[in-house]
Structure 1
Amino acid sequence: MKTQVAIIGAGPSGLLLGQLLSKQGIDNIIVERVSGEYVLGRIRAGVLEQGMVDLLREAGVSERMDREGEVHTGVELAFNDKRVRIALDELTGGDTVMVYGQTEVTRDLMEARQTSGQTTFYEASNVQLNDVKTDAPYVTFEKNGESVRLDCEFIAGCDGFHGVSRKTIPDDVKTEHERVYPFGWLGLLSDTKPAHDELIYCKTDRGFALASMRSATRSRYYLQVPLTDKIEQWSDDAFWTELKRRLPTDVAASMETGPSIEKSIAPLRSFVCEPMQYGNMFLVGDAAHIVPPTGAKGLNLAASDVATLYKILTRVYQDGDRDCINQYSEVCLRRVWHGERFSWWMTNMMHDFGNVEVNGTDSQTFSRFMESELNFYTDNEEGRRVIAMQYVGLPYEEIK
C-alpha cells in the first residue's frame, strides 16, 4: 500500500492535516490505534484562536462551527474580590476567540473525511515507523490480525504524548523539557446553562476555578485539586458546592447546577520536545508539546503546527521545493515556546501552590510575587493588552 503522506493519529490535528492536504490533491492515509468512537469520547478543550478558526474554514469544515460556535470578545479574571474583563477585541484591534468543543471539531473532520472517501485505519495495533531518515519511509501495523505495510514519502506524527512518533527520534538526538505541576484540574461537564456569558478564571485562597462552556446549554467547569484526589471522592454535589465557594458571589448565586455528563482529573505539565522533525517524520501537536490548560493553548498550538506542515508539504508537491522542509521545527518551536511561556505564566499567577517551593522560591514569597504580577498586568491597559494578544493567539508564521 502506498500514499504520499502517512498520518499517525486520528485526533483533530491528524484529521485537520489530512483534510487540508486532500484539498490540495495530496494523498494521505491516517493510522489510528483506537476506535473512532473512543476518539470522539475524549473530552477536551473548547476555546479556538482566530488562526484555528480560519484554518477550519480553509479546510471546508466550518459550517456547523460558524452556526453553533460562540464568538467571545472577552474573558474575565477574578481575584481578591476584583473582576477584571480582558476586552480581547478592543485590545487587539478586533481579534476574538470561538468557543466550540474539540469533540465537535473532531466530529466535523471525521464526517468530512468519510464523505470524501479518504482512507483511515482505526484500531491499528503495533504501529511502527521505519526508515524515517531516508526518502522512502514506511509504516507497519497490524489490522484484523494481518500485517500491513504503508509506503510513503513523509510521516506526520499526530499521535499524542504517549504515541510512537516521538519515541522514533533517538534519545541522543532529541531534548525533552518538562515542568510537572503539583496539582491537577477536576473537570465537570453538564447540560446546564453557563454561569456567565464569558469565561471566568478565578484565583482564590481555596485554589483555582474556571467557569467555561461548550455551548449556550452545555457548561464545563474546573477546580484545582491535589494530585492525590480521586474522582470517587467528588460527588456532583461536592463539586458544585466547592465551585460556588470559588466563583464570584453573584455568579455563584445565580448559576444552574445539574447532573454531570463527565468528570475527570487531569494532571498539569509543560512539555516540549526539540527538534520536532527527524528526517521525513514531523511531530505535530501533543506528540511534541503539552501545555497546562490555563492559557487555552493546547489544541491551538497543534493547529499552528498543522498549518506550518500543510504549507510546507503543499510547496513540496506543487512547487517541487524540498529545501523548505527543514524549516518545520524552527518555525513551529518559535510559536510553541511563546504558547508554553504564556500558559506557564497564567498557571503560576492563577493557582495556589500551597507549601511547595517554586523555582527555588518559598511558597509565601512566590505567592506575593504572583499577586503583584496579576495586579500589575490587570491594573493598566498595556498589561491587559499583553494578556489579550497572547490569549487570542499570535499570528501564524509564513514559510520562507
Structure 2
Amino acid sequence: MKTQVCIIGAGPAGLLLGHMLRAEGIECVVLERQTPDYVLGRIRAGVLEQITVSLMERLGLDQRLKAEGLPHDGFNLADGERLIHIDIAGLTGKHVVVYGQTELTRDLMDAREERGLEVIYEAKDAALFDIESDAPYVTYQKDGAEHRIDARIIVGCDGFHGPSRKAIPNTVGKEFERAYPFGWLGILADVPPCNHELIYANHERGFALASMRSETRSRYYVDVPLIEKIEDWSDDRIWDELAIRLGPDAAAHITRGPSIEKSIAPLRSYVFAPMRHGSLMLCGDSAHIVPPTGAKGLNLAASDVHYAADALIAFFKRNNADAIPAYSDKALARVWKSERFSWSLTKLLHRFPEDGPFERAMQIAELDYIASSKAAQTSIAENYVGLPV
C-alpha cells in the first residue's frame, strides 16, 4: 500500500490528525494495534482547552461536544479549609469544556468512514524503516501476514510505549524526565459531582481532585505512594479519604456510590527532543508526558496536531519544503510551557517524601499569595485555559 502520510496510533491525536489531513485531500492511513473497543475503554482526561475544541469545530465534528460538554468558567484550589476560586472567564475571557476523552475519541471514530479516513485496527508489531530518507515505510502484522505501507511522511501518535520514538537514533534524540514518587488513585462513579467546578486540593494528608465527566458521573482522585495496591482501597476508604482532603465544604456535598472503575496511575514529566527526525514526526505522548495536574495531556497532543497538520498541509499542498523541519521547534516551545505549568501545580499541591516543615510552609504561603493576588490568579488562569498556539 502507498500513501502520503502513515499515522501510527488511533487515539485522539492520530484520529484528529487523520481527519484534518483528509479534509485537505491529503492521503493518509492510520494504524492501531488494538481493537476499537479497547481504544474506547481507556479512561482518560476530560477537560478540553480551546485548541482541542477549535479543532473539533474546524472538522465539523463538535455537535455532541456542544450538546453534552460542560463549559467551565473557573476551577478551585483548596487547602483543606477553604476554596480559592480561579475565575478563568473573568481573567481571560475564555473557558474550558468538560467532555471525556473517550467521548471525543468516539466522535472521531464514528466519522471515519463518512470522511474517508482509513484506520487499520489490530495492526500488530508496527516497525519503521528508512525514516532518514524521502521514502520511509512501515511494516505490521495482521491476520497472520506481514503488510507494508510506503509513505512520504510517518507520524507517530502511538504513545510512550509505541515504536515511533524508538526509531529515532540515540545519537539524535535527548530525553528529559522527572518521575514522581506517587500515583493518582482514581475512582469513577455514577454520582453527581460535589461541585459544579473542579477542585484541586492540597491537604496535609496529600492531594485530592474532585472532577466530573457529566452532571451524573464523577471522577475523584487522591495521591498515594507507588507501593500502594488498588485492592487495599475499598470504595468506602476512598470516599472517607476524599472527604478529609477536599475539606468540609466539598465533603458536605459529596454523594457516595459504588465505583465503576478504580486504578492507580503513576505520574511523570517527560519530553523527547527533537519531535521530528528525517521523515518522521512525533505527536502527543510519543514525545511528551505531563502529570495530570492541570489537565494538559490531551490538550498538548491537540496542539501538536495543530502544528503537524499545518506543516503537512504546507508541505503537500504548497510545496513548502521548510514546513516539516520547522515543526519540532514550534511544538516544543508550547510543550515546555505546558510542562512547566503541570510541574509547578504538581509541586504546589502534592506532598513529596523529602518535604519537611519548610516545604509545607512554602506551599501554604504560595496558596495564600494566590488567594490574595489577581496577578497570580491570572497567570494560573492563562495557563489552565491554554496558551496561544
Report if TM-score (shorter chain) is over 0.5. Answer: yes
Instruction: Quote the Cα distance in structure 2 between the aligned partners of 1:80 and 1:145.
Output: 56
Is 1:289 the counterpart of 2:282 in the alignment?
A: no
Q: What is aligned with 2:153?
A: 154
Instruction: Quote the Cα distance in structure 1 between the aligned partners of 2:357 and 2:250.
Output: 29
* Pick aligned residue for 1:368 from 361, 367, 374: 361
**Aligned 8 A contact 2:134 2:152 in 1:** yes
Any idea what SS the aligned residue of 2:127 has? strand
Instruction: Quote the Cα distance in structure 2 between the aligned partners of 1:225 and 1:340.
Output: 22
Any idea what SS the aligned residue of 1:61 has? coil
How far apart are residue 91 of structure 1 and its match?
0.6
AA paired with 2:126?
A: V
Q: What is aligned with 2:53?
A: 53
AA paired with 1:251?
A: A
Q: What is aligned with 1:25?
A: 25
AA paired with 1:26?
A: I
AA paired with 2:13?
A: S
Instruction: Quote the Cα distance in structure 1 between the aligned partners of 2:317 and 2:336.
Output: 30
Any idea what SS the aligned residue of 1:294 has? coil
* Structure 1 residues 271-286: aligned runs within 5 Å: 271-286=270-285
Is 1:335 the counterpart of 2:328 in the alignment?
A: no
AA paired with 1:49?
A: E
How far apart are residue 119 of structure 1 and its match?
1.5
Instruction: Quote the Cα distance in structure 1 between the aligned partners of 2:144 and 2:358.
Output: 59
Instruction: Quote the Cα distance in structure 2 between the aligned partners of 1:99 and 1:44.
Output: 12
Deviation digits for residues 314-367 of structure 1 (CA, Å, limit 9, x no counterpart)? 1112211111211111000000000000000000001111x32xxxxx533222
**Aligned 8 A contact 2:304 2:331 in 1:** yes
How far apart are residue 242 of structure 1 and its match?
1.1
Q: What is aligned with 1:239?
A: 238
AA paired with 2:141?
A: E
* Structure 1 residues 110-259: aligned runs within 5 Å: 110-259=109-258
Instruction: Quote the Cα distance in structure 2 between the aligned partners of 1:114 and 1:371.
Output: 53
**Aligned 8 A contact 2:179 2:268 in 1:** yes
Instruction: Quote the Cα distance in structure 2 between the aligned partners of 1:117 and 1:51.
Output: 24
How far apart are residue 118 of structure 1 and its match?
2.3
Gaps of 5+ in 1: 357-361
Q: What is aligned with 2:350?
A: 351
Instruction: Quote the Cα distance in structure 2 between the aligned partners of 1:254 and 1:195.
Output: 5
Q: What is aligned with 2:379?
A: 386
Is 1:36 the counterpart of 2:36 in the alignment?
A: yes
Q: What is aligned with 1:359?
A: none
| More displaced stretch, 72-81 vs 94-103 | 72-81
How far apart are residue 179 of structure 1 and its match?
0.3
Instruction: Quote the Cα distance in structure 2 between the aligned partners of 1:100 and 1:302.
Output: 16
AA paired with 2:68?
A: E
Deviation digits for residues 66-89 of structure 1 (CA, Å, limit 9, x no counterpart)? 100000000011115221100001
Gaps of 5+ in 2: none
Any idea what SS the aligned residue of 2:17 has? helix
Deviation digits for residues 169-213 of structure 1 (CA, Å, limit 9, x no counterpart)? 111111100001111100111111111100011110111000000
Could you say what the CA RMSD is over the residues aligned between the two structures, in angstroms? 1.0
**Aligned 8 A contact 2:80 2:244 in 1:** no
Instruction: Quote the Cα distance in structure 2 between the aligned partners of 1:372 and 1:248.
Output: 18
Any idea what SS the aligned residue of 2:109 has? helix
Task: Please identify runs of 4+ aligned residues in structure 1 that moved more than 6 A.
Answer: none
Instruction: Quote the Cα distance in structure 1 between the aligned partners of 2:114 and 2:238.
Output: 41
